[in-house]
Amino acid sequence: MKKINWLIWVLAVMVTISLIFNIKNQFLTLKMAGDENVTLNKEIKQLDESNKDLIKQINYSTSSAFVDQKAREYFGLGNGSDAWLILPPEKKIELDLNPTEIKETTKFRQWLNLFTR
């Protein structure tokens, strides 16, 4: 009888210890899953915002305003209501790389020439 009681007692202690460890493991697993769920929800929100931005870009890139902008940017094309400015041709300045005479002027005269001409 004592052996059976002792065996039941040992078995009860082992089951209790096993239950405690299982409950602890389940709690830790649940906590980690909750943390991962929060992280994934944040990532989902970021991806949703990124998706909305991409949808806006797609809608704009398929619009006629985008096509007109790129036609102006890449090909210089415009429409009938555009006003074009025609600039005069640039004047070519020839530089004499071999000066024949050297003029020596004072620093004061150089400053004066710089601001008065």
Residue 93, pLDDT above cutoff 90: no
Residue 82, pLDDT above cutoff 80: no
Q: Compute the distance between CA of residue 12 and CA of residue 29 in angstroms, rounded to an integer.
A: 25
Q: Compute the distance between CA of residue 50 and CA of residue 44 in angstroms, rounded to an integer.
A: 10
Residue 42, pLDDT above cutoff 80: yes
Predicted TM-score (pTM) of this structure: 0.46
Percent of all residues in the chain with a pLDDT value above 90, rounded to a whole number? 42
pLDDT band at 28; cut points 50, 70, 90:
very high
Q: How far out from the chain centre does Cα 49 lie?
A: 13
pLDDT band at 101; cut points 50, 70, 90:
low
Q: What is the 3-state secondary structure (H, E, C) of the chain?
A: CHHHHHHHHHHHHHHHHHHHHHHHHHHHHHHHHHHHHHHHHHHHHHHHHHHHHHHHHHHHHCCHHHHHHHHHHHHCCCCCCCCCCCCCCCCCCCCCCCCCCCCCCCHHHHHHHHHHC
Residue 104, pLDDT above cutoff 70: yes
Q: Compute the distance between CA of residue 106 and CA of residue 95 in angstroms, rounded to an integer.
A: 24
